[in-house]
Amino acid sequence: MITAVYPGSFDPITNGHIDVARRAANIFGKVIIGVFDKPMKIVTFSLEERVNMAREAVKDIPNIEVKPFYGLAVDFAKEVNANVMVRGLRVSADFEREFDMAMMNRKLSPQLELVCFLAKPEYQFLRSSLLKEVARVGGNIEGMVPEHVARALKEKNGNSLI
């Protein structure tokens, strides 16, 4: 059985993230969504909140697990015996960033393979930071995140989202 890790901050998890995870679950025997504890950006949700939102979002997919991780993604992959790292690509700028990261990961962990999923057209514009900006000013984020995530954003921002 091939195990894949899908690391990220998931602040919050979006329908685009879920789509990539679901597609990976159709290919690999097990997918572990790794929620990074301390991303290099300011997060809206705590690690526990991000893990819980991700677990709720993929609870209907039996071969996906969600776990927090600390440190390097390649070390997390080794810890969970993953053979593959999954990443999503939305636009060409993602490719450049992911390429650099992939080369570093290859140097750190040569046995770990990278598989990238191209975002479906309806998710190509969707990034968590933009989504949070829209939510912060009360914009409608319906269809961009699961309902429980929209509610969590509403609570954080104190406004009506759906």
| Residues taking part in catalysis | 17, 41, 90, 128
CB 87 within 8 A of CB 100: no
Q: What is the CA radius of gyration of the chain?
A: 15
Q: Which two tokens stand for residue 129?
A: 């930071």
CB 22 within 8 A of CB 54: no
Q: Which of 116, 135, 128, 1 is nearest to 57 (CA)?
A: 128
How many Cα atoms are found within 13 Å in the side-chain-facing hemisphere of 146?
19
